[in-house]
Amino acid sequence: MTDFQPAFADAELSDNDSRAVTISGQRVLICRAGGTLYAVENRCTHQDAELEGGRIRGCFISCPLHGVRFDLRDGSAMGQLTKTPLTVYQVREVAGMIEVAVT
């Protein structure tokens, strides 16, 4: 069963911005890119840097530490530093609240 849990109010996240939350012990980064919500694990698969605040362009986020780009749609990594994708989570907006499913 998909278990969505509330993260924060939809109005708190601007477009092309990201915000980290911990839900059920998972570090999750919620992003709004081009008006669409995405949720990925908030830990770069290269050397574990937090991705919060990384530059968002199109549907990609760049790791603030060494710049690996990840596709927010499926977590896939671009470039040579890592081939390991990010875990992606289902995310939705319900009645002004962003909700994420981490299980």
Interatomic CA distance for residues 26 and 35, integer angstroms: 24
* Rounded least distance, CB 36 to ligand FES, Å: 23
In the numeric block, the tokens 């890592």 are attached to 82
Note whether 85 and 77 are within 8 A (CB): yes
From CA 63, how far away is CA 65, in angstroms rounded? 6
Shortest Cβ distance from residue 48 to ligand FES (Å)?
6
Q: How many whole angstroms from its chain centre is CA 44? A: 11
Minimum distance of ligand FES from residue 12's CB (angstroms): 25
The reply to whether 39 sits near ligand FES by the rule CB under 6 A is: no
Q: Which is nearer to ligand FES, 32 or 46 (CB)?
A: 46
Residue 46 in contact with ligand FES, rule: CB under 6 A: yes
63 contributes a contact to ligand FES by CB under 6 A? yes
Number of residues binding to ligand FES, judged by CB under 6 A: 10
In this structure, how many other beta carbons lie within 10 angstroms of the beta carbon of residue 41?
19
**Residue ranges that bind ligand FES, judged by CB under 6 A:** 44, 46-47, 49, 63, 65-68, 81
